[in-house]
Amino acid sequence: MSRILSGIQPSGVLHIGNYFAMMKQMIRFQEDHELFCFIVNYHAMTSLHDKKELRDNTVSAVLDFLALGLDPEKTHFWIQSDVPEVTELTWILGCHTSLGLLERSHSYKDKIAKGIQPSCGLFTYPVLMAADILLYQAEVIPVGKDQKQHIEITRDIAERFNNVYGDTFVLPAPMISDDIAVIPGIDGLKMSKSYGNTLNIFEEEKSLKKKVMKIVTDSKGVEEPKDPATCNLFAIYRLFADSDKQEAMKDRYQQGGLGYGEVKKELFSMIWEYFRPYRDKREEFAKDPGEILAIMKNGAEKTRKVAAETLDIVKDRVGLKYL
Ligand code: ADP
Ligand code: TRP
Protein backbone atom coordinates (compact mmCIF):
# COMPACT_ATOMS: atom_id res chain seq x y z
CA MET A 1 0.00 0.00 0.00
CA SER A 2 1.84 3.09 -1.14
CA ARG A 3 1.72 6.43 0.61
CA ILE A 4 0.04 9.08 -1.53
CA LEU A 5 0.20 12.79 -0.74
CA SER A 6 -0.97 15.99 -2.37
CA GLY A 7 -1.98 19.50 -1.40
CA ILE A 8 -3.99 22.36 -2.78
CA GLN A 9 -3.56 26.10 -2.30
CA PRO A 10 -6.44 28.08 -0.79
CA SER A 11 -5.44 31.06 -2.89
CA GLY A 12 -8.95 31.21 -4.36
CA VAL A 13 -12.08 29.13 -4.73
CA LEU A 14 -11.50 25.56 -5.94
CA HIS A 15 -12.35 24.83 -9.56
CA ILE A 16 -13.00 21.90 -11.87
CA GLY A 17 -9.31 21.85 -12.93
CA ASN A 18 -8.37 21.20 -9.29
CA TYR A 19 -11.14 18.63 -9.05
CA PHE A 20 -10.34 16.48 -12.08
CA ALA A 21 -6.52 16.78 -11.87
CA MET A 22 -6.15 16.25 -8.17
CA MET A 23 -9.15 16.07 -5.81
CA LYS A 24 -11.11 13.33 -7.58
CA GLN A 25 -8.12 11.02 -7.74
CA MET A 26 -7.16 11.67 -4.14
CA ILE A 27 -10.66 10.85 -2.93
CA ARG A 28 -10.59 7.59 -4.88
CA PHE A 29 -7.22 6.61 -3.42
CA GLN A 30 -8.43 6.83 0.17
CA GLU A 31 -10.10 3.44 -0.31
CA ASP A 32 -6.94 1.43 -0.87
CA HIS A 33 -3.93 3.64 -0.07
CA GLU A 34 -2.44 5.53 2.79
CA LEU A 35 -3.57 9.04 1.92
CA PHE A 36 -2.19 12.41 3.05
CA CYS A 37 -4.26 15.35 1.82
CA PHE A 38 -3.89 18.95 2.97
CA ILE A 39 -4.70 22.59 2.37
CA VAL A 40 -1.44 24.46 1.82
CA ASN A 41 -2.17 27.85 3.36
CA TYR A 42 1.52 28.73 3.86
CA HIS A 43 1.95 28.34 0.11
CA ALA A 44 -1.11 30.47 -0.59
CA MET A 45 0.50 33.23 1.48
CA THR A 46 3.08 33.68 -1.29
CA SER A 47 0.34 35.33 -3.34
CA LEU A 48 -2.38 36.28 -0.84
CA HIS A 49 -1.99 38.87 1.92
CA ASP A 50 -5.56 39.31 3.08
CA LYS A 51 -6.46 37.78 6.43
CA LYS A 52 -10.15 37.26 5.73
CA GLU A 53 -9.64 35.87 2.26
CA LEU A 54 -6.95 33.43 3.33
CA ARG A 55 -9.05 32.19 6.24
CA ASP A 56 -12.29 31.95 4.28
CA ASN A 57 -10.66 30.19 1.34
CA THR A 58 -8.99 27.71 3.66
CA VAL A 59 -12.24 26.77 5.39
CA SER A 60 -14.03 26.69 2.05
CA ALA A 61 -11.43 24.26 0.64
CA VAL A 62 -11.90 22.01 3.68
CA LEU A 63 -15.67 22.02 3.10
CA ASP A 64 -15.17 21.24 -0.58
CA PHE A 65 -13.05 18.19 0.16
CA LEU A 66 -15.45 16.87 2.80
CA ALA A 67 -18.48 17.44 0.57
CA LEU A 68 -16.78 15.69 -2.34
CA GLY A 69 -16.24 12.62 -0.20
CA LEU A 70 -12.88 12.87 1.54
CA ASP A 71 -13.16 10.83 4.72
CA PRO A 72 -11.06 12.23 7.58
CA GLU A 73 -11.25 8.86 9.38
CA LYS A 74 -9.62 6.99 6.50
CA THR A 75 -7.02 9.64 5.66
CA HIS A 76 -4.65 12.20 7.07
CA PHE A 77 -6.46 15.46 6.25
CA TRP A 78 -5.16 18.72 7.69
CA ILE A 79 -4.32 22.39 7.17
CA GLN A 80 -0.61 22.92 6.48
CA SER A 81 -0.01 25.59 9.13
CA ASP A 82 -1.46 23.33 11.85
CA VAL A 83 1.63 21.13 11.53
CA PRO A 84 4.41 23.68 12.07
CA GLU A 85 7.13 20.99 11.87
CA VAL A 86 7.02 21.61 8.14
CA THR A 87 8.58 25.05 8.54
CA GLU A 88 11.48 23.62 10.56
CA LEU A 89 12.19 21.08 7.86
CA THR A 90 11.91 23.82 5.23
CA TRP A 91 14.77 25.71 6.87
CA ILE A 92 16.96 22.62 7.11
CA LEU A 93 16.31 21.69 3.49
CA GLY A 94 16.78 25.29 2.37
CA CYS A 95 20.30 25.24 3.73
CA HIS A 96 21.00 22.27 1.45
CA THR A 97 19.38 23.70 -1.68
CA SER A 98 21.42 25.55 -4.28
CA LEU A 99 20.22 28.89 -5.55
CA GLY A 100 20.58 27.67 -9.14
CA LEU A 101 18.01 24.92 -8.61
CA LEU A 102 15.40 27.44 -7.49
CA GLU A 103 16.34 29.96 -10.18
CA ARG A 104 15.37 27.40 -12.81
CA SER A 105 11.79 27.15 -11.45
CA HIS A 106 9.27 27.80 -14.24
CA SER A 107 6.56 28.45 -11.73
CA TYR A 108 8.56 31.26 -10.07
CA LYS A 109 9.25 32.91 -13.42
CA ASP A 110 5.62 32.56 -14.53
CA LYS A 111 4.29 34.05 -11.32
CA ILE A 112 6.59 37.06 -11.54
CA ALA A 113 5.59 37.54 -15.16
CA LYS A 114 1.97 37.63 -13.95
CA GLY A 115 2.78 40.43 -11.52
CA ILE A 116 3.09 38.55 -8.21
CA GLN A 117 5.67 40.34 -5.98
CA PRO A 118 8.90 38.31 -5.99
CA SER A 119 9.23 37.75 -2.23
CA CYS A 120 11.67 35.49 -0.44
CA GLY A 121 8.74 33.12 0.25
CA LEU A 122 7.78 32.94 -3.40
CA PHE A 123 11.36 32.11 -4.35
CA THR A 124 11.65 29.33 -1.77
CA TYR A 125 8.14 27.98 -2.50
CA PRO A 126 9.62 24.72 -3.91
CA VAL A 127 11.61 24.12 -0.70
CA LEU A 128 8.44 24.33 1.39
CA MET A 129 6.81 21.96 -1.06
CA ALA A 130 9.76 19.56 -0.77
CA ALA A 131 9.38 19.70 3.02
CA ASP A 132 5.64 18.97 2.63
CA ILE A 133 6.41 15.81 0.74
CA LEU A 134 9.57 14.57 2.47
CA LEU A 135 8.26 15.13 5.99
CA TYR A 136 5.72 12.37 5.38
CA GLN A 137 7.98 10.08 3.33
CA ALA A 138 5.37 10.16 0.57
CA GLU A 139 5.91 7.95 -2.46
CA VAL A 140 3.35 9.09 -5.01
CA ILE A 141 2.18 12.66 -5.64
CA PRO A 142 -0.96 13.08 -7.82
CA VAL A 143 -0.79 16.53 -9.44
CA GLY A 144 -1.45 18.40 -12.66
CA LYS A 145 1.37 18.82 -15.18
CA ASP A 146 2.28 22.30 -13.89
CA GLN A 147 3.66 20.69 -10.71
CA LYS A 148 6.02 18.23 -12.42
CA GLN A 149 9.09 20.41 -11.98
CA HIS A 150 8.32 20.94 -8.31
CA ILE A 151 8.42 17.18 -7.75
CA GLU A 152 11.71 17.00 -9.66
CA ILE A 153 13.13 19.72 -7.41
CA THR A 154 11.92 17.75 -4.38
CA ARG A 155 13.73 14.66 -5.64
CA ASP A 156 16.93 16.68 -6.22
CA ILE A 157 16.80 18.07 -2.69
CA ALA A 158 16.12 14.62 -1.19
CA GLU A 159 18.88 12.95 -3.20
CA ARG A 160 21.42 15.55 -2.18
CA PHE A 161 20.44 15.21 1.47
CA ASN A 162 20.59 11.41 1.31
CA ASN A 163 24.06 11.59 -0.29
CA VAL A 164 25.42 13.79 2.45
CA TYR A 165 23.75 12.23 5.52
CA GLY A 166 22.82 8.70 4.42
CA ASP A 167 19.44 7.39 3.31
CA THR A 168 16.83 9.52 5.04
CA PHE A 169 14.10 10.45 2.58
CA VAL A 170 11.95 8.41 0.22
CA LEU A 171 12.21 9.76 -3.34
CA PRO A 172 8.67 10.67 -4.46
CA ALA A 173 7.26 10.17 -7.96
CA PRO A 174 4.66 12.42 -9.60
CA MET A 175 1.43 10.87 -10.88
CA ILE A 176 0.06 12.87 -13.80
CA SER A 177 -2.82 11.58 -15.92
CA ASP A 178 -2.10 12.40 -19.54
CA ASP A 179 -5.67 13.16 -20.52
CA ILE A 180 -6.23 15.65 -17.71
CA ALA A 181 -2.70 17.05 -17.46
CA VAL A 182 -3.85 20.57 -18.31
CA ILE A 183 -7.52 21.53 -18.14
CA PRO A 184 -8.30 24.72 -20.04
CA GLY A 185 -10.16 27.64 -18.50
CA ILE A 186 -12.96 29.61 -20.14
CA ASP A 187 -10.36 31.66 -22.05
CA GLY A 188 -8.54 28.57 -23.35
CA LEU A 189 -5.46 29.09 -21.13
CA LYS A 190 -4.75 26.75 -18.19
CA MET A 191 -7.65 27.01 -15.74
CA SER A 192 -6.19 28.65 -12.64
CA LYS A 193 -7.39 30.52 -9.57
CA SER A 194 -4.90 33.23 -10.37
CA TYR A 195 -6.07 33.76 -13.99
CA GLY A 196 -9.73 34.51 -13.24
CA ASN A 197 -10.77 31.96 -15.88
CA THR A 198 -12.24 29.22 -13.69
CA LEU A 199 -15.45 27.25 -13.51
CA ASN A 200 -15.76 26.66 -9.78
CA ILE A 201 -16.91 23.34 -8.38
CA PHE A 202 -19.58 24.93 -6.20
CA GLU A 203 -20.29 27.95 -8.37
CA GLU A 204 -23.68 29.59 -8.02
CA GLU A 205 -26.08 28.54 -10.83
CA LYS A 206 -26.47 31.85 -12.64
CA SER A 207 -22.81 32.68 -12.59
CA LEU A 208 -21.85 29.16 -13.72
CA LYS A 209 -24.23 29.42 -16.68
CA LYS A 210 -22.83 32.82 -17.59
CA LYS A 211 -19.26 31.58 -17.47
CA VAL A 212 -19.98 28.44 -19.50
CA MET A 213 -21.62 30.59 -22.18
CA LYS A 214 -18.42 32.67 -22.28
CA ILE A 215 -16.07 29.74 -23.03
CA VAL A 216 -13.90 30.85 -25.93
CA THR A 217 -14.21 28.89 -29.19
CA ASP A 218 -13.25 29.54 -32.81
CA SER A 219 -15.70 31.50 -34.92
CA LYS A 220 -16.97 28.71 -37.19
CA GLY A 221 -20.65 29.03 -38.16
CA VAL A 222 -23.31 26.49 -37.18
CA GLU A 223 -23.25 24.59 -40.48
CA GLU A 224 -19.47 24.16 -40.65
CA PRO A 225 -17.79 20.93 -39.48
CA LYS A 226 -15.71 21.50 -36.34
CA ASP A 227 -12.65 19.90 -34.81
CA PRO A 228 -13.14 18.51 -31.27
CA ALA A 229 -9.39 17.87 -30.87
CA THR A 230 -8.54 21.58 -30.88
CA CYS A 231 -11.66 22.87 -29.12
CA ASN A 232 -11.38 23.85 -25.44
CA LEU A 233 -15.14 23.66 -25.07
CA PHE A 234 -14.89 19.99 -25.98
CA ALA A 235 -11.88 19.56 -23.66
CA ILE A 236 -14.12 20.61 -20.77
CA TYR A 237 -17.18 18.75 -22.06
CA ARG A 238 -15.35 15.43 -22.13
CA LEU A 239 -14.56 15.65 -18.41
CA PHE A 240 -18.27 15.27 -17.68
CA ALA A 241 -19.22 12.83 -20.44
CA ASP A 242 -18.78 9.04 -20.52
CA SER A 243 -17.03 7.59 -23.57
CA ASP A 244 -20.27 6.98 -25.53
CA LYS A 245 -21.35 10.58 -25.04
CA GLN A 246 -17.89 11.80 -26.00
CA GLU A 247 -17.94 9.80 -29.24
CA ALA A 248 -21.46 11.00 -30.08
CA MET A 249 -20.41 14.61 -29.51
CA LYS A 250 -17.29 14.16 -31.64
CA ASP A 251 -19.51 12.95 -34.51
CA ARG A 252 -21.83 15.91 -34.13
CA TYR A 253 -18.81 18.26 -34.24
CA GLN A 254 -17.45 16.67 -37.39
CA GLN A 255 -20.75 16.47 -39.25
CA GLY A 256 -21.53 20.19 -39.02
CA GLY A 257 -24.93 21.63 -38.14
CA LEU A 258 -23.96 21.98 -34.46
CA GLY A 259 -23.58 25.42 -32.90
CA TYR A 260 -21.22 26.00 -29.99
CA GLY A 261 -24.10 27.59 -28.06
CA GLU A 262 -25.92 24.25 -28.07
CA VAL A 263 -22.84 22.44 -26.73
CA LYS A 264 -22.47 25.06 -24.01
CA LYS A 265 -26.07 24.59 -22.86
CA GLU A 266 -25.57 20.84 -22.63
CA LEU A 267 -22.27 21.33 -20.81
CA PHE A 268 -23.84 23.63 -18.25
CA SER A 269 -26.55 21.04 -17.42
CA MET A 270 -23.96 18.30 -17.14
CA ILE A 271 -21.77 20.27 -14.73
CA TRP A 272 -24.76 21.33 -12.67
CA GLU A 273 -26.06 17.76 -12.36
CA TYR A 274 -22.62 16.26 -11.77
CA PHE A 275 -22.02 18.30 -8.63
CA ARG A 276 -25.63 18.34 -7.39
CA PRO A 277 -25.28 15.60 -4.70
CA TYR A 278 -22.02 17.14 -3.47
CA ARG A 279 -23.65 20.58 -3.31
CA ASP A 280 -26.32 19.19 -1.01
CA LYS A 281 -23.69 17.57 1.19
CA ARG A 282 -21.68 20.77 1.34
CA GLU A 283 -24.70 22.69 2.59
CA GLU A 284 -25.09 20.14 5.38
CA PHE A 285 -21.43 20.44 6.43
CA ALA A 286 -21.56 24.23 6.31
CA LYS A 287 -24.30 24.23 8.97
CA ASP A 288 -21.87 22.97 11.61
CA PRO A 289 -18.64 25.02 11.62
CA GLY A 290 -17.73 23.66 15.08
CA GLU A 291 -17.67 20.14 13.69
CA ILE A 292 -15.44 21.23 10.81
CA LEU A 293 -12.93 22.79 13.21
CA ALA A 294 -12.95 19.61 15.31
CA ILE A 295 -12.25 17.52 12.21
CA MET A 296 -9.29 19.74 11.31
CA LYS A 297 -7.93 19.70 14.85
CA ASN A 298 -8.00 15.90 14.93
CA GLY A 299 -6.43 15.76 11.48
CA ALA A 300 -3.56 17.99 12.58
CA GLU A 301 -2.93 15.96 15.74
CA LYS A 302 -2.84 12.68 13.84
CA THR A 303 -0.53 14.15 11.19
CA ARG A 304 1.86 15.83 13.62
CA LYS A 305 2.82 12.43 14.99
CA VAL A 306 4.10 11.35 11.58
CA ALA A 307 5.81 14.71 11.01
CA ALA A 308 7.57 14.64 14.37
CA GLU A 309 9.06 11.21 13.68
CA THR A 310 10.76 12.30 10.46
CA LEU A 311 11.86 15.64 11.88
CA ASP A 312 13.48 13.92 14.83
CA ILE A 313 15.53 11.66 12.54
CA VAL A 314 16.52 14.61 10.34
CA LYS A 315 17.61 16.80 13.25
CA ASP A 316 19.69 13.96 14.59
CA ARG A 317 21.35 13.33 11.19
CA VAL A 318 22.35 16.96 10.66
CA GLY A 319 23.57 17.62 14.20
CA LEU A 320 20.69 19.64 15.60
CA LYS A 321 19.69 17.17 18.30
CA TYR A 322 21.21 17.31 21.77
CA LEU A 323 18.67 15.78 24.13
P1 ADP B 1 -4.34 26.95 -9.26
O2 ADP B 1 -3.42 26.98 -10.45
O3 ADP B 1 -5.74 27.12 -9.64
O4 ADP B 1 -3.90 27.93 -8.17
P5 ADP B 1 -3.22 24.94 -7.53
O6 ADP B 1 -1.87 25.46 -7.84
O7 ADP B 1 -3.71 25.08 -6.12
O8 ADP B 1 -4.26 25.53 -8.58
O9 ADP B 1 -3.30 23.41 -7.94
C10 ADP B 1 -3.85 22.35 -7.18
C11 ADP B 1 -3.75 21.08 -7.99
O12 ADP B 1 -4.60 21.15 -9.12
C13 ADP B 1 -2.34 20.83 -8.55
O14 ADP B 1 -2.12 19.45 -8.56
C15 ADP B 1 -2.42 21.37 -9.94
O16 ADP B 1 -1.49 20.76 -10.79
C17 ADP B 1 -3.84 21.00 -10.31
N18 ADP B 1 -4.38 21.91 -11.30
C19 ADP B 1 -4.76 23.18 -11.11
N20 ADP B 1 -5.23 23.72 -12.24
C21 ADP B 1 -5.17 22.76 -13.18
C22 ADP B 1 -5.51 22.69 -14.56
N23 ADP B 1 -6.04 23.72 -15.19
N24 ADP B 1 -5.28 21.54 -15.23
C25 ADP B 1 -4.74 20.49 -14.59
N26 ADP B 1 -4.40 20.49 -13.29
C27 ADP B 1 -4.61 21.59 -12.58
N1 TRP C 1 2.42 23.65 -5.30
C2 TRP C 1 1.20 22.89 -5.35
C3 TRP C 1 0.24 23.60 -6.31
O4 TRP C 1 0.30 24.77 -6.52
C5 TRP C 1 0.56 22.76 -4.00
C6 TRP C 1 1.38 21.94 -3.08
C7 TRP C 1 2.04 22.38 -1.97
C8 TRP C 1 1.60 20.53 -3.17
N9 TRP C 1 2.65 21.34 -1.36
C10 TRP C 1 2.44 20.20 -2.05
C11 TRP C 1 1.22 19.56 -4.08
C12 TRP C 1 2.86 18.89 -1.84
C13 TRP C 1 1.65 18.25 -3.86
C14 TRP C 1 2.48 17.93 -2.76
O15 TRP C 1 -0.63 22.95 -6.81
Same domain, 62 and 156: yes
Q: Is 39 in the pocket of ligand 1 (CB under 6 A)?
A: no
Say whether both 95 and 208 belong to one domain: no
Range of the domain at 35: 3-182+288-318
If asked whether residues 135 and 105 sit together in one domain, one would say yes
Residue 291 has pLDDT above 90, yes or no: yes
| Confidence bin at 141 (pLDDT 50/70/90) | very high
179 confidence band (pLDDT: 50, 70, 90): confident
Query: Is residue 144 lining ligand 1, measured as CB closer than 6 Å?
Result: yes
Instruction: Assess if residue 55 is contained within a domain.
Output: yes
Active site residue 315: no
In a domain, 43, yes or no: yes
CB atoms within 10 A of CB 305: 10
- Reported as a pLDDT band with limits 50, 70 and 90, residue 259 is very high
pLDDT at 195 over 90: no
Q: Up-side HSE of residue 64: CA atoms within 13 Å toward CB?
A: 27
For residue range 47-103, list pLDDT tens digits in order. Answer: 999 999 999 999 999 999 999 999 999 999 999 999 999 999 999 999 999 999 999
147 lines ligand 2 (CB under 6 A): yes
Query: Residue type for 151, please?
Result: I
Please report which ligand is nearest the Cα atom of 40: 2
Q: Report CA(210)–ligand 1 centroid distance (Å).
A: 22
Q: Supply the pLDDT for residue 242.
A: 95
Instruction: For residue 190, indicate whether it is catalytic.
Output: yes
210 & 172 share domain: no
SS3 for 174? strand
pLDDT of residue 114: 85
267 & 232 share domain: yes
- Tally of domains in the chain: 2
pLDDT, residue 323, reads: 82
Instruction: For residue range 197-243, list pLDDT tens digits in order.
Output: 999 999 999 999 999 999 999 999 999 999 999 999 999 999 999 99
Active-site residue among 52, 148, 190, 220? Answer: 190
Q: Give the confidence band of 27 by pLDDT, cuts at 50, 70, 90.
A: very high
- On the question of pLDDT at 178 being above 90, the answer is no
* Residues 10 and 127 occupy one common structural domain: yes
The amino acid sitting at 66 is L
Mean pLDDT score of the chain, rounded to an integer? 96
CATH of the domain at 251: 1.10.240.10
Residue 193 lies in a domain: no
Quick one: average pLDDT of 275-294?
96
pLDDT at 180: 79
Q: pLDDT-based confidence at 261, cuts 50/70/90? A: very high
16 shares its domain with 147? yes
Whether 321 is a known active-site residue: answer no
Same domain, 170 and 242: no
Query: What pLDDT is recorded for position 260?
Result: 97
Identify whether residues 111 and 260 lie together within a single domain.
Answer: no
- 154 part of a folded domain: yes
Q: Do residues 137 and 21 both lie within one domain?
A: yes
Distance between CA atoms of residues 200 and 186, nearest Å:
11
Both 47 and 165 in one domain: the answer is yes
**pLDDT at 238 (0 to 100):** 96
The DSSP bridge partners found for residue 34 are 3
CATH number at residue 52: 3.40.50.620
Task: Choose which residue among 6, 13, 22 to substitute to test ligand 1 binding: the one with the highest number of ligand atoms within 8 A of its C-beta.
Answer: 22
Shared domain check, 178 and 33? yes
One of 24, 111, 211, 226 is an active-site residue; which one?
111
Angle formed by the axes of helices 276-286 and 289-318, to 10°?
Answer: 90
- Residue 192: predicted pLDDT: 92
Return the number of other C-beta atoms located less than 10 Å from residue 196's C-beta.
Answer: 10
Mean pLDDT value of segment 170-183: 90
Mutate which of 18, 105, 147 for ligand 1 pocket (most atoms within 8 A of beta carbon): 18
Answer yes or no: is pLDDT of 4 > 90: yes
Rounded Cα gap, residues 153 and 304, in angstroms: 24
Query: pTM of this prediction?
Result: 0.94
Q: Which pLDDT score, from 0 to 100, does residue 129 have? A: 98
Domain assignment of residue 197, yes or no:
no
Give the DSSP letter string of 239-291. Answer: HHS-HHHHHHHHHHHHHS---HHHHHHHHHHHHHHHTHHHHHHHHHHHT-HHH
**The pLDDT of residue 247:** 97
